[in-house]
Amino acid sequence: MVKTEKFIPKAIEKIKAKAQGKTIIALSGGVDSSVCAVLAHRAIGDNLIPIYIDTGLMRKGETERIKEIFGDMNLQIIDAKDRFLDNLVGIKDPEEKRKAVGETFIRVFEEEAIYVEAECLIQGTIYPDKIESDGGIKSHHNVGGLPEHIKFKHIIEPIDDLYKDEVREVAHALDLPEEICERMPFPGPGLSVRIIGEVTREKVDVVREANAIVEEELLEQFCPWQTFAAVLGKGTGVKGDLRVHGWIVAVRAVGSRDGMTAEAMELPWDTLRKISSRITGEIPTAARVVYDITPKPPATIEFE
Ligand code: XMP
């Protein structure tokens, strides 16, 4: 439990004391970076430049949501969709995909940091990230990792003593919208890890629409730890009177405590049938819907 009424003014003072000149933060729309952006904005106002990079691999409506919530800040929205998708052409291997997305993110962020003449960087590192990195368990290369070629005067990590549930408490206390406070995890490489094989514009469009449908049908009613759709490949179907070769969409809904292990949720048949009928009905190129019942382990939560 964090005492938000003490934590918030202290964090704002800490940022005020350390930040010099223009200070940037990569805003992803997740709860960690959102909380840091609000704290920093209260501390240094327009000297904070939140940078949101539209990778083309974000959820449906994400860019508009960010504009709506953070529009009163000195927000920079960078449309880098083509650059990300071009850099993914021909890449089929999951790790290579992650690398391509991560590297493109760092390059774009770096260019913007130089352009706005940023002197300081704010990062949304939380306590478990710090422990895992310090202990060498895993390095935390969230997409949006540290720009490598820029020397910042200060790197400020305002929430690095908090656990995730404490960050959510602070988010509530800062009056961030409920959908941000309680947001389920979204992978750094975005929708690219929900596409088997090469990432193409067509597959991204299908998976984005399918994700939106799955979230609409499951989030509020079933409160899964995480739920989403993935595009697996193509299969035969019938639409109208025609046989089509359309996309096979997988639906995933899991319960979990921390993402380390997970159980597939036992969803009612009616719900699954409705999702199937919406995906194949609303996405012209989708022919088939399957529900993934595999726990983690042996599967992972994401598909790649
Ligand atoms: P897996 O698929 O490994 O995922 O069972 C466990 C949790 O981590 C998220 N995830 C990622 N988050 N960068 C991230 O920031 C990544 O590359 C990444 N891969 C998976 C996943 O959504 C799940 O919540």
| Listed residue (210, 292, 298) closest to 246, CA to CA | 210
- For ligand 1, atom 11, the nearest C-alpha belongs to 187
**Cα(68)–Cα(46) distance, integer angstroms:** 17
So what's the pLDDT on residue 254?
A: 98
The strand pair at 226-239 and 242-255 is best described as: antiparallel
**68-98: pLDDT as tens digits:** 999 999 999 999 999 999 999 999 999 999 9
Secondary structure of the chain as H, E, C letters: CCCHHHHHHHHHHHHHHHCCCCEEEECCCCHHHHHHHHHHHHHHHHHEEEEEEECCCCCCCHHHHHHHHHCCCCCEEEECHHHHHHHCCCCCCHHHHHHHHHHHHHHHHHHHHHHCCCCEEECCCCHHHHHHHHCCCCCCCCCCCCCCCCCCCEEECCCCCCCHHHHHHHHHHCCCCHHHHCCCCCCCCHHHHHECCCCCHHHHHHHHHHHHHHHHHHHHHHCCCEEEEEEEEEEEEEECCEEEEEEEEEEEEEECCCCCCEEECCCCHHHHHHHHHHHHHHCCCEEEEEECCCCECCCCCCCC
Residue 230 near residue 254 (C-beta atoms within 8 A): no
**Cα(199)–Cα(89) distance, integer angstroms:** 7
Does the C-beta of 237 come closer than 6 Å to ligand 1? no
So what's the pLDDT on residue 159?
A: 97
Residue 232 near residue 252 (C-beta atoms within 8 A): no
The number of residues making up the chain comes to 304
Does the C-beta of 194 come closer than 6 Å to ligand 1? no
So what's the pLDDT on residue 186?
A: 93
Per the annotation, binding residues for ATP are: 28-34
Tokens 């994700």 belong to: 211
Does the C-beta of 295 come closer than 6 Å to ligand 1? no
- Spell out, as residue ranges, where the chain has pLDDT lower than 50: none
Tokens 């949501």 belong to: 65
Half-sphere exposure of 271 (CA within 13 A, CB side): 17
Does the C-beta of 256 come closer than 6 Å to ligand 1? no
Q: Choose which residue among 302, 303, 304 to substitute to test ligand 1 binding: the one with the highest number of ligand atoms within 8 A of its C-beta.
A: 302
Distance 300 CA to ligand 1 centre (A): 9
Does the C-beta of 189 come closer than 6 Å to ligand 1? yes
| Listed residue (107, 98, 52) closest to 195, CA to CA | 98
Distance 302 CA to ligand 1 centre (A): 7
So what's the pLDDT on residue 133?
A: 67
The strand pair at 48-54 and 23-26 is best described as: parallel
- For ligand 1, atom 13, the nearest C-alpha belongs to 188
So what's the pLDDT on residue 147?
A: 74
Q: Relative to the CA of 262, which ligand 1 atom is closest?
A: 5
So what's the pLDDT on residue 131?
A: 78
So what's the pLDDT on residue 109?
A: 94
> Which residues, other chains included, contact 112 with Cβ-Cβ below 8 Å and sequence gap of 6+?
24, 51, 53, 76, 78
**Cα(96)–Cα(234) distance, integer angstroms:** 22
Does the C-beta of 187 come closer than 6 Å to ligand 1? yes
As to burial, measured by CB atoms within 10 angstroms (0-12 exposed, 13-18 middle, 19+ buried), residue 57 is buried
Residue 150 to residues 79, 112, 117, Cα–Cα distance (Å): 22, 11, 10
Domains contained in the chain, CATH given: 4-182 (3.40.50.620), 200-291 (3.30.300.10)
Residue 250 near residue 194 (C-beta atoms within 8 A): no
- For ligand 1, atom 22, the nearest C-alpha belongs to 187
Does the C-beta of 261 come closer than 6 Å to ligand 1? no
Does the C-beta of 296 come closer than 6 Å to ligand 1? yes
Does the C-beta of 102 come closer than 6 Å to ligand 1? no
So what's the pLDDT on residue 140?
A: 52
